[in-house]
Amino acid sequence: MPNPLLSVIIPTYGRPSYLNRAVDSALCDMASYDVEVLVIPNGPDDSWRGPLEKYRDIPSIHVYPISIAHANVARNIGLKQATGTYIRFLDDDDYLIAGNADKQIQLLEQTGAEICSGLIENVDSDLSSLGILSFPETQDFVSAVLTLSGFRLPVGNLFRRETLITTGAKWREDLPRAQDLMWMIDLAKQREWKWVHFPKPVGVWFQHEGDRLSTVKPRNDKPIQIINALFDLYEKLDKNQRLTTERLETLSSLLWNYIHWRFPYDMIYWTKVAHRTLRIAPDSRPDHAIFENAWLKHANPLLAELILAFPRKVSTLLRETKRNLTGWDYRRRL
């Protein structure tokens, strides 16, 4: 039997109420011989067994339970087991949009590209639309990775499996969060990729209450691994003569975004990061409206962060106190 055209890898843990929807969406656009769905339950959880019972007699659905509760370990298992020409990674609480997701394959077939990224719809728990997530305007893959947007979410991206295998691409298994960003940073570091946009929504980023790895308050977050990866990316690009003006600007902008939003909560660490950022991009500064004020526009951005740190910290604590009294909004936007 020939290999399938598409492999869809779904790590799952503790979300049985969403799992069927994800699996069904992976199957809906493709003939059974054209798609394989690899479900990877991870960790001490058996809640997946009930939902997956309905697929027991469908040979294109494969289940590989593992004991380690880590989505990236699950994704790597799926990557190793996949046999399709193309691969996509789908979180168990998200789902694909019928009629559009399969057209990404057609675009890859037509262009010979290695990665195709489609738009993503943001949907609330009551199934109402919260709009389309932002998408980078650039046609440069590295710059897109370094731009704050929804493009990095797994549900929107499709990969040519052969190129992932030959480059040795793997999801990092030591990360507690920001796993999709690090995956993309590592891809950007490896080499240049032929990347194409698909201009329609191909998947849904589903909003719901409950713990999610991406929901972390800046005061509790010091993403040292991400910061180190960004500086490693700079050194790799610079060494291999891949560092363009656009890439340096987007890299320094992302670094300043991390610095600005977390600075009041660990000024020593973020001062070091800011100094290092200014060494590689002396004219860079936070992309924030407050730095458009006349007295800050031409000031040293690190000095401005130091001056603003205490009032910003107080302001944030007041906002959090108010939210704790009125309730946190679980919905997120990118």
Residues 222 and 100 in one domain: no
Each residue's pLDDT, cut to its tens digit, for the chain (334 residues) gives: 578 999 999 999 999 999 999 999 999 877 656 999 999 999 998 999 999 999 999 999 999 999 999 999 999 999 999 999 999 999 999 999 998 998 999 999 999 999 999 999 999 999 999 999 999 999 999 999 999 999 999 999 999 999 999 999 999 999 888 999 999 999 999 999 999 999 999 999 999 876 555 555 555 678 999 999 999 999 999 999 999 999 999 999 999 999 999 999 999 999 999 999 999 999 998 887 777 776 677 778 888 888 888 888 888 777 777 666 766 566 666 6
Q: What is the rounded CA–CA span in Å between residue 134 and residue 328?
A: 23
Residue that finishes a domain, picked among 154, 178, 206? 206
Residues 144 and 224 in one domain: no
Q: 118 forms bridges with which residues in the sheet?
A: 198
The answer to whether residue 291 is domain-embedded is: yes
DSSP state letter for 316? H
The answer to whether residue 307 is domain-embedded is: yes
DSSP state letter for 283? T
Q: What is the pLDDT of residue 208?
A: 87
Q: What is the pLDDT of residue 218?
A: 53
26, 90 contact by CB (below 8 A)? yes
Q: What is the rounded CA–CA span in Å between residue 27 and residue 152?
A: 23
Residues 176 and 228 in one domain: no
195, 117 contact by CB (below 8 A)? yes
User: Based on the structure, what is the number of domains in the chain?
Assistant: 2
How distant is the alpha carbon of residue 67 from its chain centre? 24
Number of residues assigned to the chain: 334
CATH of the domain at 51: 3.90.550.10
Residues 256 and 176 in one domain: no
Q: What is the rounded CA–CA span in Å between residue 253 and residue 138?
A: 15
Q: What is the rounded CA–CA span in Å between residue 252 and residue 254?
A: 5
Residues 170 and 279 in one domain: no
Residue that finishes a domain, picked among 206, 241, 276? 206
Residues 202 and 222 in one domain: no
Half-sphere exposure of 271 (CA within 13 A, CB side): 10
Q: What is the pLDDT of residue 328?
A: 59
Question: Domain range spanning residue 276?
Answer: 218-326
Residues 62 and 85 in one domain: yes
Residues 137 and 87 in one domain: yes
Reduced 3-state DSSP string for 197-228: EEEEEEEEEECCCCCCCCCCCHHHCCCHHHHH
Residue that finishes a domain, picked among 186, 206, 226? 206
| Among 313, 317, 231, 318, CA closest to 267 | 313
Q: What is the rounded CA–CA span in Å between residue 262 and residue 71?
A: 26
Q: What is the pLDDT of residue 319?
A: 72
Residues 198 and 57 in one domain: yes
The answer to whether residue 115 is domain-embedded is: yes
Residues 186 and 284 in one domain: no
Residues 137 and 274 in one domain: no
Q: What is the pLDDT of residue 301?
A: 87
Residues 193 and 262 in one domain: no
237, 192 contact by CB (below 8 A)? no
| Among 118, 129, 206, CA closest to 156 | 118
The answer to whether residue 1 is domain-embedded is: no
